[in-house]
Amino acid sequence: MSPDPDGMSIGELAAQARTTVKTVRFYSDQGLLPEAARSSGGHRRYGPDAPARLRAIRSLRSLGVPVPEIGRVLDSGDTLEAVVARQLDDLGTQLAALRWREAALRALHEAAPGQLADRLELIGAVGVPPSTSALAQYWRRLLPVRLSARLRRAIVEAAVPQPPADPTPDQVLAFARLHALATAATDHCLASHRPATAAHPDLLYDGLHEAYQLVDAARRADRAPGPGGALDCFVAAHARARGTRDTPAFRRALTVGLAEADHPVMGRYWHLAGELTTDLTLGAADSWLRAALAGSTATD
């Protein structure tokens, strides 16, 4: 049978594409399936390319591609590769949210009697998927005002742990507690555990960054806290920021000053951060260096 010069009917198109008339009508109404013409009776007629186009539409929809994006693929020059990449990104976000939600529910399910309400309030304050914006804001308020924007960005990035991609219930709780610590910090509270402001904060934090990198290398080599490049770099950073030199007397004073500046809030922050990552945290690096410093002054 030769093709109808006026095109195929909606029923014929549905039959060829192995779908329903309702489906064809829906995609037509959405503008994804243009009509070639109308019959004398006003019925929709479709051209010879319509079956292939309809199959492409249904394939994309089966993968969850939204109708507007299908239109851009078919008519606006948007590549199929770009659409697939966006779908993968969206799916990754959805899966991360589901993994977080599952771990959060397990944390609630495993709560001891009397803990459930507190855990629910704690976990419920964190978005899904969780955002680190409150932690970043905490550090921006904590760091010295005169610190350069470059170092401020680098420190915030290093100090804020990212939520694990596949968290355990304990990690959900650790992140929720970090979030609670950050959001509860008032200006008065921050002032009580803000690091002492050096005369030259960029000199201090640039040197600390280098020292922490050396600690990371030492820990990977399984070296215990002790004398060496990491400790020398750490002490030199503090000395330069104060306009003085690295001497035994300065090391003794630095040991005392750092101990006096310790605050339980920061200790808790780094303990919780350590539960979220296997990488060396700034807090763990600082503890390694303080232990090395204490050892060096004890032998003077």
Residue 258, exposed/middle/buried by CB under 10 A (0-12, 13-18, 19+)? middle
Mean pLDDT of 289-297: 92
| pLDDT of 232 over the 50 cut | yes
Tokens of 235: 């002490």
Most confident residue range from 14-18, 51-55, 212-216, 262-266: 212-216
What are the structural domain ranges in the chain? 8-78, 83-193, 201-298
pLDDT of residue 36: 72
Tell me the CATH number of domain 8-78, given options 3.30.930.10, 3.30.70.3150, 1.10.3720.10, 1.10.1660.10: 1.10.1660.10
Longest Cα separation, the chain: 104
DSSP codes joined into one string, 224-249:
PS-SSHHHHHHHHHHHHHTT----HH
Structure tokens of 278? 């296997």
> How confident is residue 171, by pLDDT bands cut at 50, 70 and 90?
very high
> Is there a contact between 65 and 83 (Cβ–Cβ < 8 Å)?
yes
Residue 5, pLDDT > 60, answer no
The residue with tokens 């829906």 is 26
Is the pLDDT assigned to residue 225 strictly greater than 50?
yes
Range 125-134 average pLDDT: 92
Give the DSSP letter of residue 173: H
Q: Is the pLDDT of residue 20 over 70?
A: yes
pLDDT, position 159: 96
- Rounded CA-CA distance 15/9 in Å is 10
**Mean residue pLDDT across the chain:** 89
Residue 215 in this model has a pLDDT that exceeds 90 = yes
The two tokens of residue 253 are 């004073």
Give the pLDDT of residue 95. Answer: 92
Please give the DSSP secondary-structure letter assigned to residue 9. E
Query: Which pLDDT belongs to residue 1?
Result: 41
* Contact of 73 with 83, CB cutoff 8 Å: yes
* pLDDT at residue number 104: 96
Q: Looking at residues 99-103, what average pLDDT do you find?
A: 95
